[in-house]
Amino acid sequence: MKALVLIGGFGTRLRPVTYTVPKQLIPLAGKPMLYHVLDLLPAEVEEVVLATGYKSEQIDAYVRAHPPRWPVRTVSEAEPLGTGGGMKNAGGTMSDPFFLLNSDVIAAVDLGEVARRHARSGGIGTMTLAEVEDTRPYGVAALGEGDRITGFVEKPEPEAAPSHWINAGLSVWRREVLDRIPPGRPVSFEQEIVPKLLDQGLFGYRLSRYWDDAGTPERLLRSQRLLFDDGRGGRGTLPAGSFGKGPVALLKGAQARGASFGGYVTVGAEAVVEAGAHVENSVLMDGAVVEREATVDGCLLGPRARVRAGHRVSHQVLGEGGEA
């Protein structure tokens, strides 16, 4: 099987960081969000096609410099085509069936098992579903016998939501769905196409462990905690010469001598946490600096962002080179 990964969105909810970096390259528990998604793919996947658009060249360069275990190709769109348009644009060589992955979700799931369930169902698609309290930002499934999806409503008002089971952004489809997408214009796969596929047998696969959508600052940090707790944060121990508690993922050239940590932190490449500073529940991207005696809690610091000596920042997002 092959996999198609949607990675062309603007990431508006993670601005200002995403003005200069695509959200999929933000490191969570020591690794870019995109790579946590790719990790879910079975080893035998033949090829991964990245349907890119916004900041495509950065994603392309990163993937070349850090090749994943599968052959990867990027197919970029000149204008944003939406999820369905991106699938149509990049999916020409997809297998039958193929995996379709959003690049901004984290989950614990055996996608090989999802593919086997799909094959047994005889349906056109199998969509993993996550159970959430607030369904408003998502596509919500109505479920019938055998978890057949009998209705699908994108971003409903709470009273119109047919269940609490939402599209988790990890699915398997027969190749023919690509023929149902009109070419050459923006198309939302979830809004325009999925409701028309229900009569051909779309099945839900309920996720039983964790799932999150890392698309907002708060959920991005919650995703990082889930990944660390699941042991997906590399060594996650305290950096040499620092104290407090882990897990902390330290990337190449990062320094934290004399700093203290409160756990669930990524310190990006060449980033520095100076002596006497304290950081917890945060992501510091490459080259970010937390100066001495500063405190950072619940923050996303973009590349080369800086928190001045003695300052306390909590629940803030600083863009590239930003200061607080």
What is the closest distance, in whole angstroms, from the C-beta atom of residue 56 to ligand GTP in the complex?
Answer: 9
Q: Does residue 13 bind ligand GTP (CB under 6 A)?
A: yes
Select the residue interacting with ligand GTP from 27, 32, 53, 322 (CB under 6 A): 53
Give the residue with the Cβ less far from ligand GTP, 93 or 237: 93
C-alpha 41/C-alpha 3 separation (Å) is 8
10-18, 229-237, 274-282, 300-308 -> range binding ligand GTP (CB under 6 A): 10-18
What is the closest distance, in whole angstroms, from the C-beta atom of residue 25 to ligand GTP in the complex?
Answer: 12
Residue 299 CB-half CA count within 13 A: 30
C-alpha 104/C-alpha 214 separation (Å) is 6
Burial zone of 186 (CB within 10 Å; 0-12 exposed, 13-18 middle, 19+ buried): middle
Beta pairing partners, 5: 50, 101
C-alpha 178/C-alpha 88 separation (Å) is 6
Size of the site for ligand GTP (CB under 6 A): 20
C-alpha 68/C-alpha 46 separation (Å) is 12
Interface with ligand GTP in residues 78-117 (CB under 6 A): 80-83, 86, 102-104
Give the residue with the Cβ less far from ligand GTP, 101 or 277: 101
What percentage of the chain's residues is helix, strand, coil (to nearest 5)? 25, 30, 45
Q: 196 catalytic, yes or no?
A: no
74-82, 145-153, 247-255, 286-294 -> range binding ligand GTP (CB under 6 A): 74-82
Give the residue with the Cβ less far from ligand GTP, 7 or 38: 7
Taking CB atoms, the residue at the shortest distance from ligand GTP is 9
- Please report, as a single letter, which amino acid is at residue 190: E
Give the residue with the Cβ less far from ligand GTP, 103 or 121: 103
**What are the residue ranges of helices labelled H in 12-161?**
33-38, 56-65, 82-90, 111-121
Q: In 3-state terms, what secondary structure has residue 198?
A: helix
Q: Does residue 11 bind ligand GTP (CB under 6 A)?
A: yes
Select the residue interacting with ligand GTP from 7, 214, 238, 248 (CB under 6 A): 7
The site for ligand GTP (CB under 6 A) is made up of 6-13, 51, 53, 77, 80-83, 86, 102-104, 215
- What residues are annotated to the active site? 155
